[in-house]
Amino acid sequence: MEVKLSMSEDLTPVSLEKIAAFISSLQKENGEIPWSVGGKTDPWDHVESAMGLSVGGFFTEARSAYEWLAGSQLDDGSWWSEIQDGKIINSCKESNFSSYVAVGVFHHYLITSDIKFLKTMWHTVSQGIQYAVNLQSPDGEIYWARNKNGAVDKMALLTGSSSIYMSIKCALAIAGILGKKRPRWRKAMDKLGVAIKNRPDLFNMIKSRYSMDWYYPVLCGAITGEEAKRRIAHLWEKFVVPEWGVRCVSDRPWVTMAETAEFILTLTAIGDNSRAKTIFSWLNDKRFSDGSFWMGVTFPDGVIWPEEKTGWTAAAAMLAWDALNEITPAGKLFNHKFWASWNK
């Protein structure tokens, strides 16, 4: 089903520098970027915020964020799932959290061409990817976490595994630049890709109510071409709310700006820039005066919820804007044609 949209209004320009300054205002002196002022920190959203800093040209702050990751990585290549004010508040060690550093590091390299940075971060990236690969099941899906004692929780998330697929892809690109061979990673990625495409039954943490399970397999590039377009069309009306954005959960009257931005990234990844631009126009009135974006809003009553100002939400919007306008060389990071060309 082809869904056509009309542009509701012209796009309001996004000041990447202003939004990056907001993210920088959250960053601690040691480089850590919590969700919000006084909030918790998790490794995935920390990386997302660092990517926003890179897009905005805050390269020193972005490097500091990655240095913090390198310094706080655990011996097994993972990080604690959540900390706050230096204290562990969630002692799980999640596979997609461990691997996402590869996406951020490659993203920063695409913008800066800083080979020294890649070499410095290689050990951290390698350890994080290996932690995730070590959690792969014989069927290809990747178990989501170990507990603080190292015991594996043999449950798998489709969204999490899709994120890992993208992470391994970026890690292999970094390895290629540095002249390193990682055939086990390639094999793990290929096996994971088959599971994502063909074996939804393997992902036993059922999250089909969540829009991320819909678009992440396309965003990460595990599903491409006509199959990707069919997947997007199939659940479009379930999750996309005209003039508002993308629902986080299908049965709730609530859209979130991060999911909306990631869906815009997904559309640009498959070349659907016209609809991506239209959906970005719906974000025009969903930001604060400091440049940051709302986390979410209920409809049709328009209640902003939660009111928390998060760096990773702002960063997701920055990545979407970059993908639409190709402001930096990393604007094509999620683009399927970029990866097809890169892998030639």
Helix (H) or strand (E) holding 324: helix 311-325
pLDDT of 104 reads: 98
Query: Is 7 part of a structural domain of the chain?
Result: no
Contact assessment for residue 31 and residue 300, using Cβ atoms and an 8 Å cutoff: no
Residue 3 has pLDDT above 50, yes or no: no
pLDDT of 6 reads: 40
Residue 109 has pLDDT above 90, yes or no: yes
pLDDT of 10 reads: 58
Helix (H, G, I), strand (E, B) or coil at 89: strand
pLDDT of 296 reads: 98
Residues facing residue 247 across a β-bridge = 255
Query: Is 1 part of a structural domain of the chain?
Result: no
Is the omega angle on the peptide bond into residue 329 within 30 degrees of 0, that is, cis? no
Query: Is 3 part of a structural domain of the chain?
Result: no
Helix (H, G, I), strand (E, B) or coil at 136: strand
Residue 7 has pLDDT above 60, yes or no: no
What span, in angstroms and rounded, lies between the C-alpha atoms of 16 and 30? 23
**Quick one: average pLDDT of 33-51?**
98
The span from the first CA to the last CA of the chain, in angstroms, equals: 32
Q: How many domains does the chain have?
A: 1
Crossing angle of the two packed helices 43-55 and 311-325, in degrees rounded to 10: 50
Phi, psi of 308 (to 5 degrees): -60, 140
Residues 6+ apart with CB under 8 A from 10: 281
Query: Is 125 part of a structural domain of the chain?
Result: yes
Average pLDDT, the chain: 95
Query: What pTM did the predictor assign?
Result: 0.96
What span, in angstroms and rounded, lies between the C-alpha atoms of 114 and 201? 41
Task: Give the CA distances from residue 171 to residues 83, 122, 186, 253, in Å, rounded to whole numbers and listed in that order.
Answer: 25, 9, 10, 38
Q: Take residue 134 and report the two structure tokens written for it.
A: 């070590």
Query: Is 2 part of a structural domain of the chain?
Result: no
pLDDT digits (tens, 9 = 90+) for 308-341: 999 999 999 999 999 999 999 999 999 999 999 9
Name which of 215, 213, 193 is nearest 139 in CA terms.
193
Residue 46 has pLDDT above 70, yes or no: yes
Query: Is 4 part of a structural domain of the chain?
Result: no
Contact assessment for residue 281 and residue 10, using Cβ atoms and an 8 Å cutoff: yes
Pairing of strands 254-256, 296-298: antiparallel
Contact assessment for residue 299 and residue 244, using Cβ atoms and an 8 Å cutoff: yes
Alpha helices in 82-157 (DSSP H): 95-99, 101-112, 115-133
**Which structural domain range is residue 274 located in?**
16-342
Query: Is 256 part of a structural domain of the chain?
Result: yes
**Quick one: average pLDDT of 230-258?**
97
Instruction: Supply the CATH number for residue 59's domain.
Output: 1.50.10.20
Is the omega angle on the peptide bond into residue 200 within 30 degrees of 0, that is, cis? no
**Quick one: average pLDDT of 239-244?**
97
